[in-house]
Amino acid sequence: MRDRAKNLLDILQTIFVTLLTLAILVAVHEFGHFWVARRCGVKVLRFSVGFGKPLLSWSDRSGTEYVVAGIPLGGYVKMLDEREGPVPDDLLDQAFNRASPRSRIAIAAAGPLANFLLAIFVYWLVFLNGVSGVAPVVAKVEPNSLAEQAGIVAGQEFLSVDGEATPTWEALQLQLLDRIGEDGEVRISMRSLDSDLVTENVVALKEWMHDVEEPNPVRELGVTLFVPEVVPRIETVVAGSPAERAGMQAGDLVVEANGEPVRTWQEWVEQVRELPEQSLPIVIERDKQRIILTVTPERKLDDSNHAYGYVGVSVQMPTWPESMQRTMTYGFVGAAIAAVDKTWTMSAFTLSSIKKMLIGLLSPKNLSGPITIAKVASSSAQYGFFAWLTFLALLSISLAVLNLLPVPVLDGGHIVYALVEWLTGKPVAEQVQVWANQLGLVLVVFVMVFAIYNDVLRL
């Protein structure tokens, strides 16, 4: 019963966080179109967040209807347009189709621009709060790997990749991800922790990770980064759990289970999970004394309906060595500069990834849809408010970049139509626009279906 309640709460949290994330992104994007359209003299008939039947609606003095609809997977701004119905003579000058090409370009570009501004604002908040991370230090290098061939050895710290500083795990991953699918050389600066000597290492790439579904560039280099060993010392014991009934207490160190020595938390977890509803003799160390206990893991079911054991304890997490902790703090202006730079970097990375996917350098199986977005949104919220904000910024950038692609039915397609008219003095033929829009719609739907297919496969 308790498991069902927890699963229900998890599902409700996922739905709530996902809807909140999408609602913010859509509202900001459509507000960009709305705000600029009004300033260009175009009459806005409806501002809708979501599709389908309105759940909530109201109108302002200008006659614009504001709607919150039942299908929260997008939104739209409906403007007065002769192509969509008769327009009274006294309102012809407020019709979108009669606006100048420059005005139509501004209106179409305003949605993506609003998403870029949202990302900059969110990153500014994140940087003002301070950004923490840990240094990417090599714990192990696989034999015959790219890293070994480049001369990288255990105990070294990654300083930069292709001239870009990599002070944290995240920075290192991002710089390496930028080289997916490429040939050529990656120049990596390394430094041993026990010296100031910096070495320049060159890694030779050949269509690197172009067919990998979920690329992990550090692992593909053949490197395992240092992580403090998690010893099986108990931090908390859940009330009424098998662990409490067996006599386990906070601070206990598990040294043996089922007659086998236990050195790490992972080994202890694996022992427990493999023995649901079976007696598990253990030896724990408490106040420098060893005590023999017997715990019977409770039977639970995972998402795939497989049984596993559960005893109800959490681990004392180790602390990273202070020398490996990296904390970057920013002032008011410094945070703004860093936010703009981060938004630019992530936009370029998103565009580069799309290009590589189109020309076959990056596996299309990396394309994600709403299911993956929901899972990541929920998990980022569990890590805290600023983790969720970072995900919101990334999603906002992706939405902006995708909408600027020159695909009919997207904002980028409308910009292309207006640019052609501005340069030639003639609008694109209506029949050509109809055909192009139909083709663009088919392309967008195909990509969405493929992304959802990838999501299902990941499940």
Give the active site residues: 30
Extract the tokens encoding 457.
């496969």
Residue 209 neighbours by CB under 8 Å, 6+ apart: 180, 181, 215, 217, 220
Extract the tokens encoding 343.
């938004």
HEC per residue, the chain: CHHHHHHHHHHHHHHHHHHHHHHHHHHHHHHHHHHHHHHCCCCEEEEEEEEEEEEEEEECCCCCEEEEEEEEEEEEEEECCHHHCCCCHHHHHHCHHHCCHHHHHHHHHHHHHHHHHHHHHHHHHHHHHCEEEECCEEEEECCCCHHHHCCCCCCEEEEEECCEECCCHHHHHHHHHCCCCCCEEEEEEEEECCCCCEEEEEEEECCCCCCCCCCCHHHHHCEEECCCCCCCEEEEECCCCHHHHHCCCCCCEEEEECCEECCCHHHHHHHHHCCCCCCEEEEEEECCEEEEEEECCEEEECCCCCEEEECCEEECCCCCCHHHEEEECCCHHHHHHHHHHHHHHHHHHHHHHHHHHHCCCCCHHHCCCHHHHHHHHHHHHHCCHHHHHHHHHHHHHHHHHHHCCCCCCCHHHHHHHHHHHHHHCCCCCHHHHHHHHHHHHHHHHHHHHHHHHHHHHHC
In the chain, the amino acid numbered 312 is G
Extract the tokens encoding 160.
């930069």
Q: Of 124, 126, 121, which Cα lies nearest the Cα of 25?
A: 121
Query: How far is Cα 436 from Cα 434, in angstroms, rounded to an integer?
Result: 5
Query: How far is Cα 107 from Cα 432, in angstroms, rounded to an integer?
Result: 22
